[in-house]
């Protein structure tokens, strides 16, 4: 209950304080390339329930839907998108996911069904027992994930074989050790990582 109250309070204040920035980004996206301002993608939420995660659109309006990873200097990324991704500003609409209750400020990052299917059954049950989050330890560790995958011969296989198992270890660790103060630490580390 404390976690949900904290999420709702911080996310609501965040939306109100950042409203001018959110509006400016939305206008920039509309002027930069044709298409909607927001990008929606189905992710797996708590107890395996699918939901639509919100992001500012950073790619061409009709990208190759077969590719679910964005790597390196992906040609599908718009001019505004490069900037938004670099500073993680494309993630700001997820504050509305937090307000809605489909996400928390801190928790295991929600994956697309295709990659959740790669989780071992025991770990999948544990990770999906909590509400997914906007940030977590794995997000901080892999803040440059796109650049890392851009150097791989087969980015998707590298993600499944190398990055995903490490992320899963962090997800499991979070679920087992989570407390209100752990959440606060992760938020502070996230802010510091972005500032750097």
pLDDT digits (tens, 9 = 90+) for 118-136: 999 999 999 999 999 999 9
Pairing of strands 133-135, 104-106: parallel
pLDDT of 144 reads 76
Q: Taking 90 as the threshold, does the pLDDT of residue 27 lie above it? A: yes
Q: Taking 70 as the threshold, does the pLDDT of residue 66 lie above it? A: no
Rg (CA), the chain: 16
Show the tokens assigned to 146: 């796109």
Dist CA 30 CA 2 (whole Å): 38
Kindly report which listed range (1-5, 6-10, 126-130) carries the lowest average pLDDT score.
1-5
Dist CA 141 CA 166 (whole Å): 10
Q: Taking 80 as the threshold, does the pLDDT of residue 71 lie above it? A: no
pLDDT of 99 reads 98
């Amino acid at each position: 209950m404390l976690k949900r109250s904290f999420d709702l309070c911080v996310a609501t204040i965040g939306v109100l304080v950042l409203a001018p920035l959110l509006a400016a980004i939305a206008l920039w996206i509309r002027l930069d390339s044709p298409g909607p301002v927001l990008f929606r993608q189905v992710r797996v939420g708590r107890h395996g329930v699918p939901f639509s995660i919100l992001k500012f659109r950073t790619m061409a309006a009709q990208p190759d839907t077969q590719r679910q990873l964005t790597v390196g200097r992906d040609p599908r990324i718009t001019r505004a998108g490069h900037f938004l991704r670099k500073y993680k500003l494309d993630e700001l609409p997820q504050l509305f996911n937090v307000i809605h209750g489909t996400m928390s400020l801190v928790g295991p990052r929600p994956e697309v069904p295709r990659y959740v299917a790669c989780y071992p059954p025991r770990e999948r049950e544990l990770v999906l027992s909590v509400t997914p989050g906007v940030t977590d330890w794995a997000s901080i560790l892999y803040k440059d994930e796109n650049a890392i995958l851009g150097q791989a011969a087969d980015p998707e296989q590298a993600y499944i074989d190398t990055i995903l198992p490490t992320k899963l270890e962090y997800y499991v660790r979070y679920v087992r050790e989570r407390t209100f103060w752990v959440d606060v630490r992760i938020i502070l580390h996230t802010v510091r990582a972005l500032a750097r």
